[in-house]
Structure 1
Amino acid sequence: MLIRAGYDIGFRCEQPVPMLANLSVHASRNKDLRSVQRIFTTPEVPLYDYADGFGNICTRLTMPAGGATLSCGFVIEDPFEPDPVDIHAQQAALVDLPDDVLLYLRGSRYCETDQLLETAWRLFGQCRQGWPLVQAIVDHVHASIRFDYATARPTKTAWEVFHEGSGVCRDYAHLAVALCRCMNIPARYCTGYLGDMDLAEPGGPMDFSAWFEVWLGGRWFVFDARHNYPRRGRVLMARGRDAADAALTTTFGPVELVRFEVYTDKDMLS
């Protein structure tokens, strides 16, 4: 299936402000692109791309005084299959984890494993390890958090989400990631496009989405604590320890967001 996706995001600033943007499709999906993916800016400013340690394509630019608009549109081929499920996937012993996976057991900026460790073992210590344990964590986060844009804030951590009981998709992901790590399951944060093409009814205004991946059975599996069932049509943009590694934009100065439009649709040619 061909998916047409893109965005148009506007910023205002009073002086030039450097920016780092994770707004490109993740390098692991480059082979699926069926059109050129290029970021345009208005006014036009120099752009420079590099790949970070997580395989994210990072774009560097400096917004001029007055601000700038970033836009992009592309077509990508996707199997449009549900997220893979393997209820028999086993949890690896810590001594058997690959070196590059160990990173995703440690606490991070938005995932305070030290503060949630006791709670995690109290809630899930009796669960069967592996897939059933992860599913129990996802079920708990899904049931205990109320989706509410009004309670979102960029500084909100997993510990705060746990106590406040509300948030947006990134908050669901942060809490689930932190709880998985507390239970010795490597987990990493993901962000990207997730349209409503697999839903019976439109899901409301389009936005970027957040989910997470866990290491089970020698590979990474997708889980989504907000929706809590296998979805179709995910297009990964960035991943990392948490949203600090996969922030859509990071600005190095005061900036106001003035426009935010995202779209994900079935391409009419598919």
Structure 2
Amino acid sequence: MGTRQLDLGCTFRHQAAWPTAALLHVVPAVPTDGGDPAGRRNPGIIFKDEKWTLEPQIEIHPYQDAFGNQIQRFTMPQGVSTVSYSVRAEVPDELDAADESAPEIPPTDLPDDTLVYTLASRFCHNDVLSGQAWKLFGGMEPGYGRVAAICDWVWNYLAYTTGSTTFTSTSTDAFLTGRGVCRDFAHLMITMCRALNIPARYAHGYLPDMDVPPLPTPMDFHAWVEVYLGDRWWTFDPRHNARRKGRVLIGVGRDAADVALITTYGAPWLQLMTVTAQEPV
């Protein structure tokens, strides 16, 4: 198995009327290859040359949240400030892992730490859409194939439409309108899985256009789904409905509310956001 290089990073520029506390969630998850396979994140990936550029100089304090995500805590100064992050990643030259024989685990046998991902959450209304989920997928044989069918259904059901939803849109909204962006695709798939008692969680990170035609839109962060089958979490991407190369996880949570890219305790104006996820040029 070979490897390939990726340049990853982002820039945020804000203007604040007063000093504003903020949380930034853009650093890739620390690679965990061994031990419990259920806890692995970014396996086989090596990160180097990490760099922060802060204008003006801002003190950043890293910490780990309740989901094991790496968060940077800082205070935006009054006026205009820019935070840029970059890192070089060496990634396996292979597609997302898959195993068509991976079984669903009955709720009685699920690991304790997966149970939170079977419950309804702010943006994933499996209690509301339960009837629809069982009508569509309840008669299918449980396992990886059924989850793949849910992914395929979401990809076909929703039309990717930029600007069609807002930061308050839920999986119910996506189901009713049939439109959304990658976070809505993820929320709807998560909802359908949870309605069938399958643990599913929201994941976001960097997804370069490796060995696929590049999208015509500017590079952005991407949202996908992780589903617990067998003894580990598996990646599903209802936005693209395909296994991809170069996927780099930033963090996971119950839904988008747990993994916001930036959280501010105030209302600064976001002037600029850019994302880099590409092979070195």
TM-score by length of 1: 0.95
1:24 maps to a residue whose letter is: V
Task: Tell me the equivalent position of 1:190.
Answer: 203
Consecutive unaligned residues in structure 1, runs of 5 or more: none
Aligned amino acid, residue 161 of structure 2 = D
CA contact (8 A) 2:44 2:91 kept: no
Partners of 1:5 and 1:18 in 2: CA distance: 25
| One-letter code aligned to 1:207 | D
Q: Could you list the runs of 5+ residues in structure 2 that have no partner in the other structure?
A: 32-41
Cα distance in 2, alignment partners of residues 88 and 143 from structure 1:
24
Aligned match of 1:267: 280
- The aligned amino acid for 1:187 is A
CA distance in 1: counterparts of 2:43 and 2:144, whole angstroms: 29
Please name the residue that 1:24 is paired with.
Answer: 27
* Partner-residue secondary structure (3-state), 1:220: strand
Shift of 1:205: 1.2
- Distance in 2, matches of 1:210 and 1:132, equals 21
Is the CA contact 1:196–1:203 (under 8 Å) kept in the aligned structure 2? no
1:177 Cα deviation from its structure 2 partner: 0.5
Measure the CA separation in 2 of the matches of 1:202 and 1:103: 34
Q: Percent identity between the aligned chains? A: 40
* Aligned counterparts of 1:222 and 1:91: Cα–Cα separation in 2: 15
From the superposition, tell whether residues 36 and 201 of structure 1 become closer, same or farther in structure 2 (CA, over 3 Å): closer
Letter in 2 for 1:68: S
1:11 equivalent to 2:14? Answer yes
Note the C-alpha offset of 1:65.
1.4
Alpha-carbon distance in structure 2 between the residues aligned to 1:103 and 1:258: 36
How many residues were matched structurally? 268
Deviations 1:56-94 (A, max 9, x none): 111111111113211011101100311112111110111
For 2:83 and 2:154, how far apart are their aligned partners in 1?
34
State how far apart, in whole Å, the 2-side matches of 1:11 and 1:192 are: 21
Q: What is the aligned-residue RMSD (CA, Å)? A: 1.5
Partner of 1:122: 135
**1:1-270 → structure 2 map (5 Å cutoff):** 1-28=4-31, 29=42, 32-267=45-280
What is the TM-score with the length of structure 2 in the denominator? 0.91
Relative to structure 1, is the Cα distance of residues 31 and 82 closer, same or farther in structure 2, using a 3 angstrom cutoff?
closer
Q: Secondary structure at the match of 1:177?
A: helix
